[in-house]
Structure 1
Amino acid sequence: MSKIVFVEDDQDVGELIAAYLGRHDIDVIVESRGDRAEQVIVDADPDLVMLDIMLPGKDGMTLCRDLRSRWTGPIVLLTSLDSDMNHILALEMGANDYILKTTPPAVLLARLRLHLRQAGSSTSSNEDIAPALSGHKALRFGTLFIDPVNRQVALSDENIALSTADFDLLWELATHAGQTLNRDALLKTLRGVSYDGLDRSIDVAISRLRKKLHDSATEPYRIKTIRNRGYLFAPHAWESHSE
């Protein structure tokens, strides 16, 4: 049975969704306050976290951002706020999905199951990828150094802390430097699943990598977006830390 922490201050909504998901083999822990949720999540170690945005103590966007720095599992925003700006902000904060509360329960269940499957595939794939990387030599692009044996990244002598999934994504991009990789190729390699047209986890991970590797958020030049094609790791864009 999968386990979810659902942070929702409306008791009726929390109980209804918990009951529905419980009938489909998903155990739900409901927490009503945003300022208590992070510790609950760390203690419970769930398979997925689902957050409302409007919460007492700490809002869901801030909670998502703070949680992402210490927890790598899927995060879903479930909200009544139908706003493109909120949707974009949620993805930038590290969320994997943004779902409206008006979504039919069966569709919500299907999307949660998708994230749970992908998280499970990612764990299995990472276990397979780690030993495979040990046979490769370190890569250097200007001031960027990537060590696959110790799984360390440095930029201008600054150590860059990356999650396992983000390191694997960077390694996949860097070993195909100068080539455009689409979402489908990245998901198949890293998670063993195909792109379904909805999954934004690669986009979110790319955004995190750009931020940590001091790339531009508005006009990225180190990990480039190639419109309608995918992402390209630029091998000659790492000559200085502050370009």
Structure 2
Amino acid sequence: MTNQENILVVDDDPEIRRLLVDYFERHGVRAAAAPDGTEMFKALDNGRFDLIVLDLMLPGEDGLSLCRRLRARSDVPVIMLTALGEDTDRIIGLELGADDYLCKPFNPRELLARVRTVLRRVRALPENLAQAEPESLGRSIRFADWTLDTVARHLLSPQGVVVNLSGAEYRLLRVFLQFPNRVMNRDQLLDLTQGKAADAFDRSIDVLVSRLRTKLRDNGREPQIIKTVRGDGYYLACGVEREEG
């Protein structure tokens, strides 16, 4: 990491905010802090951040809700903090688009290591994805009578019904649409969906594929849109039409 990195710490505990900001800066990383979601979005409106450390238990709007809102406007990496150790919270956070998850109490050294890992993996994304941001895919992408709105980040069903997507679901579907009819294994999909750390995500690609199939009404036993190649991975088994506008 270089002194170009800028981290935003969002936590309602002033002592934790001070400790983390001081620790990051002692290790050559610029850092700022916010006590809640309102101040977080103000900070994002006024500056550029390479990663957000986001506490789950915040006053008012909690970290899960904030992560969902954040993913509707930005792909900035997120590491979630929580005093809860339940797997459900961890999985929900990851499905909403968090890049990693760390339980309190934690060692700041471990958090810094996770920050470095997430940023390194994000920067290591294959060039063919880095060169194809959502705008280059078009304003709307049609496939199998469905439409993905790349600005609103939601699906439109063949009947015209809006289907909301989590941040992780949106990114995974975007990858499938960018590389239709190409088989991709789990490791490739992990890297292409924001460089998730494998130990943080485990088999969540399988979970996300299952969730996408449900939202696409794609029969899990005999899927027609996202197909499984046993032992190899998944692929989008339909044509893709991009519409500008």
> Residues of 1 paired with 2:83 and 2:206: CA distance?
25
Give the letter for the 1:169 counterpart: V
| Two-structure CA RMSD over aligned residues (Å) | 4.5
Distance across 1 between alignment mates of 2:200 and 2:231: 15
Return the alpha-carbon distance in structure 2 between the equivalents of residues 33 and 62 of structure 1.
12
Q: CA distance change for structure 1 residues 129 and 84 in 2, over 3 Å: closer, same or farther?
A: same
Does the 8 A contact of 1:35 with 1:57 survive in 2?
no
Q: Distance in 1 between matches of 2:219 and 2:90?
A: 17
- CA distance in structure 1 between the aligned counterparts of 2:226 and 2:112, rounded to whole angstroms: 34
1:66 shift after superposition: 1.0
TM (norm. structure 2) is 0.68
Alpha carbons 2:213, 2:220 under 8 Å: kept: no
Q: CA deviation at 1:154?
A: 7.3
State the Cα distance separating 1:224 from its structure 2 match.
Answer: 5.3
The equivalent residue for 1:107 is 110
Structure 2 stretches lacking a partner, 5+ long:
149-154, 240-245
Deviation string 1:52-109 (CA, Å, 9 cap, x unpaired) is 1111221111111111101111111111111101111112222111111233332221
- How far does the alpha carbon of each residue in 1:190-216 deviate from its partner, in whole angstroms, 9 at most, with x for none? 87x7x8532539957984996599325
Q: What is the aligned partner in structure 1 of residue 158 from structure 2?
A: 156
| 1:6 aligns with one of 5, 9, 14 | 9
2:131 alignment partner in structure 1: 128
CA distance in 1, matches of 2:58, 2:142: 45
Q: Which residue of 1 aligns with 2:80?
A: 77
> Which residue of structure 2 aligns with residue 239 of structure 1?
none
Does structure 1 retain, via aligned residues, the 8 Å contact 2:190–2:205? no
- Distance, in Å, in 2 between the alignment partners of 1:171 and 1:104 is 40
User: Is the deviation greater in 108-117 or in 219-228?
Assistant: 219-228
Equivalence for 1:18: 21
What is the rounded CA distance, in whole Å, between the counterparts of 1:62 and 1:108 in structure 2? 22
State TM-score, norm by structure 1. 0.69
Task: Decide whether the 8 Å contact of 1:126 with 1:165 is kept in 2.
Answer: no
Decide which of 176, 181, 202 is 1:175's aligned counterpart: 181
5+ residue gaps, structure 1? 147-152, 237-243
Contact 1:96 1:201 survives alignment (8 Å): no
Change (3 A) 1:202 1:30: farther
Percent identity over the alignment is 28
Matched AA of 2:112: L
**Cα separation, 2, equivalents of 1:205 and 1:35:** 34
Higher relative contact order (CA 8 A, sep 6+): 2
Residue 65 of structure 2 corresponds to residue 48 of structure 1: no
SS at match of 1:37: helix
CA displacement at 1:10 relative to structure 2: 0.6
